[in-house]
Every structure is written in C-alpha cells, then in structure tokens.
Structure 1
Amino acid sequence: MEKWKKDYLKEILKDYPKMEDYYLERKAKLLLHNNQQSNKELKDKKLLISISLDRQLINLERNQKTISLCLNQATEETKEIIKRLYMSEKQKVNLDLVADQVFLSKRQVIRLRDAFFEELAEHLGI
C-alpha cells in the first residue's frame, strides 16, 4: 500500500473517536448559517439541501460508518492494535510497545494492522 494511503487512513482513524463531535459541529454551523435567512419556508428547504449535500458531513458520516464496520469485522487482536495505535489519548505509542501490550510479535502487529488498512481502504474506495 502506498505511503499516502496509509497516512490518510491513520489520520481518519485518529479522528474516529471525535467524528460524532465533528459531525454535530458542522451541522450546527449549517444551521447557524441558514438561520440568518429571512423567508421561513425557503430557509427550511435550503437547510435540508445544505445538510444533505454538504461534502464534509457526507465524508464524516461515511468515514465513521466504514471504520465502525471494519472494526466490527476485525479480530479482537486487530481491534486492540488499531485502538492502541491510533485511537488512544496517548499518541506516543509505537509498534514495539503495542506488540508488548497485546502479546504479539512486532511483525504480527504490522501484518494485522496492514490487513486492517487494506480492508478499510477497500471499503472507502481508495
């Protein structure tokens, strides 16, 4: 897998625990923007169109659903590896430390992580 794909997947995995907050924040911005309009009926139609077509909201929702799906399909070891590497508050973990924590070799951790990345990339269409 290309480096840019891995980097992209790592970033969305790091954002995964906060995606719901990002989604609600973006939706609130759209609401605020549309509340500044004057005509009530026109305002409601624009709001529905804005929310349903907003690219950022669509991507956040898609990423969240896809990551959830892939995590649900993953083995317990893979889930633990992904959560420790990318979703923990402590961002100073590395492959060696995670391997020790999940009682696997570093090579096994890399193999499981890369298999998860391949699955996630396939579901995201990248």
Structure 2
Amino acid sequence: MRKQTKGYIESLLEDYPKYYDYVKQREYELRHPYIPVDENVGGGKAQFKKNDVQDRILITIEEDRRLNNLRREHYAIKTCYDEASSEVRKIVDELYFKSPRLRKYHSIYDLCDFKIIKLSRPSAYNYWNKFLQEIADELGLRY
C-alpha cells in the first residue's frame, strides 16, 4: 500500500469519532448559507417571486459532495470495523478512537510490548495492513 493512501486512511480513522459533528456542521452551512448584502438600490428584483427555499435546501443537502463523501467514509470504516477481529479493534480503539490526551500507547509496537494485544509484532502489522486494505477496497482507493 502506498504511504499516502495509508496516511489518508489513518487520518479518516482519527476523524471517525468526530463524524457526527462534521455532518451537523456541514448541514448547518447548507441550511444557512452566507448571502452577501446587495447594495444595489433600484429595480431588478421581482416582487412576486416563488419561495422554494425548502426544496432547494433539501436538494442541496442530498446532492452535497462533501456530505456524501463523509457518509461514504463513515460507512466504509464502520463496516470494516464491525467485521474486524478483536485484536484489530483493540488497535483501532487504542491508537485512533481515543483522544490524544488519553493515549498511553503510540504505535502497534507499543501495544505488542505491553501485551495489550496478544499477537507478535509481525502478525499484528499483517492484521493491521489487511484492515487498511479492506477500508481502501471499500472506499475504492488504489493501493
């Protein structure tokens, strides 16, 4: 797997616990867009314009590329995490789902040394790489 792809997937794993915050923020941005003040004094605006704001907001939320990518990434990580072994789940929980202040271990090497996961280092890295490849396949990334 390429180093950039691995780094991208690891950054997605670090952002996974904040997924709902990102979705809420993006939906707020779509519902309340910034509209610049029109300082043009004069005609040009129709008086009896049809108000279809609700329809436009729904269409915008459904078709938003960033929001759909967030959902796709969340679904891919969730399905791969649910299908992963308990050892891989421990790795993900310890290294990516915990907040940085609460982390005691910083690598798979540390997890193996302190017997948090009951695998040898090479087999732990093999399981980890298979997990990353499953996520890459689910997202349609080349590795």
One fold, TM greater than 0.5?
A: yes
- Report the count of equivalent residues: 124
Q: Confirm or deny that 1:122 pairs with 2:122.
A: no
Larger helix percent: 1
Question: Considering only aligned residues, what root-mean-square deviation do their CA atoms show, in Å?
Answer: 2.0
**Structure 2 partner of 1:56:** 66
**Structure 2 partner of 1:28:** 28
Shift of 1:98: 1.7
Contact 1:19–1:60 (Cα < 8 Å) also in 2 = yes
Inter-partner Cα distance in structure 1 for 2:55 and 2:136: 35
Q: Give the alignment's TM-score, normalised by structure 1.
A: 0.89
**Amino acid in structure 2 at the alignment position of 1:73:** E
Identity between Structure 1 and Structure 2 (%): 30
**Amino acid in structure 1 at the alignment position of 2:111:** V
Contact 2:87–2:118 (Cα < 8 Å) also in 1 = no
Contact 2:13–2:77 (Cα < 8 Å) also in 1 = yes
User: 5+ residue gaps in structure 1?
Assistant: none
Q: Confirm or deny that 1:71 pairs with 2:81.
A: yes
Q: Give the alignment's TM-score, normalised by structure 2.
A: 0.79
**Amino acid in structure 2 at the alignment position of 1:15:** D
Contact 1:35–1:43 (Cα < 8 Å) also in 2 = no
User: 5+ residue gaps in structure 2?
Assistant: 37-48
